[in-house]
Amino acid sequence: MVFRTLGIRTFLTILLVFVLGITQSISAQNDGGSDKEAKRNDYLLIADLQVQIEATKAINDMYNFKFQRAAAEFKWLKDKYPNHPLPYFLLGLNEWWKIMPNPEIETFDDKFLAYMDSSIMMAEKIYDVDSTKVEGAFFLSASYGFKARLHSDRNNWLRAAAYGNKSLNYLDDCRSKEDLSPELMFGDGLFNYFSVWIRDNYPKLKPLLFIFRKGDKDLGLKQLTEVAHNAFYTRTEAQYWLMRILFSEEHDYRGALVIAEYLHKTFPDNAYFHRQYARMLHSTGQTVMAKYVCEDILRKIDEEMPGYEQNSGRWAAYFLGSIMEASKDYEKAKEYYNLTVKFGEEIEAYETGYFLYSLIGLARIYEREGNTKMAKSYLKQVKKYAKRSHPAHKQAREYLKKI
């Protein structure tokens, strides 16, 4: 599934998606304003070509997990424009991408929230000025949206709901200023797709969505595809979401793989994009390349590169284990399945699929080797950690009866 959890967390995640679409798109709107207006108002940083160039380079560094380099560039913007929300928001976004590889890690939370609070404080000041109201609104909408997403991940539901509601209020100010540029199409495309997706997958959330207009999934996909090919500011975000939609919802695995390959080659040190590429390769049966990519992930973990940790290792080791098992190299398969289990135990990811299916994989191999005692011990671990409704639990129960 595109989203890891149900209920309000799903709703807030969708809300964040809408916010991101508007936030990143307003830059195109302001860029189309008159030179006279840009010169008159020092606050319109996103209409400044030089600032866009500097920020774009830093954003690319951020996506490639060169966080220190990105932060240095963002701090330069903060020193130059200390009273504008843009640099504080970008510094917060830099912390957000440190969280992305493993959302369970809370190391970066305080710094992320502090930057978003600073962005909100600065945005409130320019929101009260008529000529910069929209610019203030989208920073307020985006900052509150990100805070809502983090608090939902931390199960702080009341705070998440409060920040989500504030984000919605400012989002309305932004929507009234949209035009048909490719950048603005990003937010509209996500809205068109996910407003229908929520109604189809979570009927209980329909009452929360009555304030939105009706979407169109097919149109949303077309819009996201156009943004992914033609936009400047929102291209990477559009590609990221399009990849996830094609893979998890549309089951267009080949289409998702094309995007995943591009993202990995463009940002080769982004641990999140790296493991998604490995997943797409494994899912489409491209085992030779999948093996190489997964080994590269494990190498970067050994080298302690930023963002490469047990979560990415759990993915890569499981894919390698299944590849080795399929090629009948059972000793290597056991090695990688055990590594998956080790990574899972280190981050307490006991209920995750790769952890559970690695245990089942080990049981299969030991049962093949005639060691039913070891096989049963791994299957009992699956029953211990998996919820009874989980497919792995059912598989373990049936397997135990069989052997």
CATH at residue 265: 1.25.40.10
206 DSSP 8-state letter: G
Higher pLDDT: 239 or 29? It is: 239
pLDDT (tens digit, 9 = 90+) per residue, 180-235? 345 546 666 777 788 788 778 777 766 666 656 677 899 889 989 988 888 765 67
Predicted pLDDT at 274: 98
Contact 223, 189 (CB under 8 A): yes
Is residue 2 in a domain? Answer: no
Residue 247 lies in a domain: no
Same domain? 56 vs 148? yes
- Mean pLDDT to the nearest integer, 137-164: 84
Which of 241, 273, 307 lies at the terminal end of a domain, its last residue? 241
Per-residue confidence (pLDDT) for residue 321, from 0 to 100? 98
Q: Mind listing the pLDDT tens digit for each residue in 346-385? A: 999 999 999 999 999 999 999 999 999 999 999 999 999 9
Same structural domain, 329 and 209: no
Measured CA to CA, the distance from residue 269 to residue 263 in angstroms comes to 10
188 contact partners, CB below 8 Å, separation of at least 6: 21, 178, 220, 223
- Do 40 and 187 share a structural domain? yes
Q: Are residues 56 and 198 in the same domain?
A: yes
pLDDT score, position 370: 95
∠166-171-177 over CA atoms, to 5°?
Answer: 150
Dist. CA 248–CA 226, nearest whole Å: 20
Identify whether residues 313 and 396 lie together within a single domain: yes
* 164 against 186, higher pLDDT: 164
Exposed, middle or buried, 350 (CB in 10 Å: 0-12/13-18/19+)?
Answer: middle
- Domain contains 181: yes
Do the Cβ atoms of 243 and 236 come closer than 8 Å?
no
The Cα-based distances of 6 to 3, 61, 302, 366 in angstroms read 8, 33, 34, 37
215 with 188: CB under 8 angstroms? no
Q: How many CB atoms lie within 10 A of CB 205?
A: 16
Give the separation between CA 249 and CA 253, rounded to whole angstroms: 10
Residues 224 and 282 in one domain: no
Going by pLDDT thresholds of 50, 70 and 90, the confidence category of residue 39 is very low
Is residue 149 very low, low, confident or very high in pLDDT (cuts 50, 70, 90)? confident
- Tell me how far apart the alpha carbons of residues 95 and 84 are, in angstroms, rounded to a whole number: 19
Using the predicted structure, report yes or no on whether residue 169 has a pLDDT greater than 80.
no
What is the pLDDT confidence band of residue 107, given thresholds at 50, 70 and 90? very high
Cβ proximity of 249 and 280 under 8 Å: no
Residues 202 and 337 in one domain: no
Tell whether the model's pLDDT for residue 2 goes beyond 60.
no
Structure tokens at 359: 């245990």
DSSP letter for 4, please. S
Distance between CA atoms of 194 and 177, rounded to whole angstroms? 21
**pLDDT on residue 230:** 82
* Residue 259 included in any domain: yes
Same domain? 230 vs 315 = no
- Residues 31 and 127 grouped into a single domain: yes
Residues 282, 234 share a domain: no
1 belongs to a structural domain: no
Structure tokens at 388: 């009874």
Amino acid at site 178: E
Question: Over the chain, what is the mean pLDDT?
Answer: 83
76 occurs within a structural domain: yes
In a domain, 248, yes or no: no
pLDDT at 300 over 90: yes
Percent of the chain with pLDDT over 90: 55
Q: Of 241, 267, 283, which residue sits at a domain end?
A: 241
Alpha helices in 100-230 (DSSP H): 109-127, 133-153, 157-175, 182-201, 217-230
- Tell me which of 219, 241, 263 is where a domain ends: 241
As a whole number, mean pLDDT of residues 136-149 equals 83
Give 303's contacts (C-beta < 8 A, 6+ positions apart): none
Residue 396 clears pLDDT 80, i.e. is over it:
yes
**Residue 400 DSSP symbol:** H
Q: What is the pLDDT of residue 206?
A: 66
Both 277 and 237 in a single domain? no
273 and 188 together in one domain:
no
The pTM of the full predicted model, rounded to 2 decimals, is 0.81
Q: What is the pLDDT of residue 31?
A: 38
- Better-predicted residue by pLDDT, 106 or 148: 106
202 within domain boundaries: yes
Q: Return the closest-CA partner of residue 332 out of 361, 370, 302.
A: 361
Token pair for 309: 């940790």
- Give yes or no for residue 43 having a pLDDT over 90: no
- Look at 202 and 313; give whichever has higher pLDDT: 313
Structural domain range at position 169: 7-241
Provide the percentage of residues in the chain whose pLDDT is more than 70.
80
Domain count, the chain: 2
24 contacts 186 by C-beta, under 8 angstroms: yes
Between 220-224, 263-267, 288-292, 321-325, the lowest mean confidence (pLDDT) is in 220-224
- pLDDT category at 236 given cuts 50, 70, 90 is confident
